[in-house]
Each structure stands twice: as structure tokens, then as C-alpha cells.
Amino acid sequence: MADSPYPARSAELNKKRRELVPDTTAAFEAFSKQVFAEGALDEKTKQLIAVAVAHTTQCPYCIEGHTKLASRKGASDQEIMEAIWVAAEMRAGGAYAHSVIALNALEGLPGHAH
């Protein structure tokens, strides 16, 4: 991530994270390994899901890492971009769906039509 406002990952920082809370780090790493292991969904599909989710959570480290992993697991550039478009639709769809909260809040306020 050239010219990124986010700090670069490094072996030293990874080591420090492990040293600060080793049991939790080990548990998280085991959990992550299990989640992305082949199961009812193949590894490529799981990585494509991760690419989409990373775009909705907007984690640059996850976007970079899972995009590379999806490619290594056999996802094409087109499949990766389609997963990103699914994420974009879901994020936009969530804003649209939640508009009922705003409309409901306006109900009964002076000057607003029903």
C-alpha cells in the first residue's frame, strides 16, 4: 500500500502483538485458519466473501490481503471485481433500507406531510 496513511505491517509489529497477548493471538490465528479452511464452501469462495466484506468494513489491510489470497486460490480478476460490486450494492442497499428510520422519525413533525 504505497503512500498509505496506514502504518506498514512488519515482523516487529507482529511479534509485539503476539508478545503482548500470546494466548489470544494464538486463539485468533487458529480461529482464522479454521474459518478459511475448505468446508461446505471452497477456499476460493471464502476468500471472495472476505474480499467483499473487507470492502464493506473498509479495512485496507484486509482488502489487500484477501484480494491476494483470493487470487492465489484461483479467483479471476473479474470474480474479485464482481465480489467488490456485491459489497458496494449491499452497502448502498443498507443506506436505502435504513431510510425508513429517517422517514419514520419525520412522521408527525410539524411541517411534514404524511
Please write the tens of the pLDDT for every residue from 19-75. 999 999 999 999 999 999 999 999 999 999 999 999 999 999 999 999 999 999 999
Q: At the top level of CATH, which class does the domain 41-106 belong to?
A: mainly alpha
pTM summary value: 0.83
Q: Which helix (H) or strand (E) holds 28?
A: helix 22-35
User: 86-114: string of b/e by CB count within 10 Å (b at 16+)?
Assistant: bbeeeeeeeeeeeeeeeeeeeeeeeeeee
| pLDDT at residue number 2 | 65
| pLDDT at residue number 90 | 94
- Residues 92-112 pLDDT 10s: 999 999 999 999 999 988 888
Instruction: Provide the pLDDT confidence category of residue 114 given band limits of 50, 70 and 90.
Output: low
CA distance 6 to 13: 13
| pLDDT at residue number 19 | 96
